[in-house]
Amino acid sequence: MQTIMRIIALSLGMSVLSGCFVPFVAGAAIGGAIVYDRRDFETMASDQEIFQQANNKINIDNELKNDAHIIVTSFNRSVLIVGQAPTEALRARIQQLVASIPNIKRIYNEVSISGPTSPAVRSSDAWITTKVKSQMLVETKLRSGQMKVVTEDSVVYLMGIVHREQADIAVDIARQVSGVQRVVKIFEYIPD
């Protein structure tokens, strides 16, 4: 496994240095699995930076850190914010903090007005996400890394760059997983 990771790191380094980086669409072998991602390297780095900045802004706000439960995800510069905030004012503050980050195309604020979910609910959400991802992994028409799956309070959010057929397959898979109450699509569609 370490040898594979070294080869990938070396290949990525050489590609970046030579200026001819091939996006992860072609796939990278990691532990025997193929990982596909339609985002280019710059977009992936931007998504990581957006994620870091959003979490930093939320974590330095004591009221948000102590009274709310917030999860931020970025995919192709679209940002999904989920969780719970006790007031509409805190929900709006979260939106403003995230909106102040550069390079964001769109923000989906799905934060509900309520107290934070319990550790048991969060554990259940993590298990739902694992089950959805596992089912997607065995579906031959879907590719690992094409989508992000986020579960919050039994609602599954699907983000990614996909064909409509792939979106329909992913939604059907998520709907069939035990414990899922609703599925929300946040896809960018590729023309067929």
pLDDT tens, residue by residue, 74-97: 999 999 999 999 999 999 999 999
pLDDT tens-place string over residues 6-63: 444 444 444 444 444 444 433 444 444 445 678 889 999 999 999 999 999 999 999 9
Contact 76, 108 (CB under 8 A): no
Which CATH number does the domain 119-189 belong to among 1.10.10, 2.60.120, 2.60.40, 3.30.1340?
A: 3.30.1340
Backbone angles phi, psi at 28, to 5 degrees: -130, 135
User: Is a pLDDT exceeding 70 seen at residue 154?
Assistant: yes
Grade residue 192 by pLDDT with cuts at 50, 70 and 90.
confident
**How would CATH label the architecture of 41-113?**
2-Layer Sandwich (3.30)
Q: What's residue 56's pLDDT?
A: 96
pLDDT grade for 151, boundaries at 50, 70 and 90: very high
Q: Evaluate whether 41-113 and 119-189 have a shared fold.
A: yes
The Cα–Cα gap between 111 and 83 comes to 5
For residue 65, CA distances in Å to 58, 86, 101, 143 come to 6, 12, 18, 35
CA distances from 161 to 25, 122, 134, 187, 189 (A): 11, 27, 19, 6, 6
**Beta strands 155-162 and 147-152, pairing class:** antiparallel
Domain residue extents for the chain = 2-35, 41-113, 119-189
- This prediction has a pTM of 0.80
- Whole-angstrom distance, CA of residue 174 vs CA of residue 155: 10
Q: How far apart are CA 72 and CA 108, in angstroms?
A: 10
pLDDT above 70: residue 1: no
| pLDDT attached to residue 35 | 55
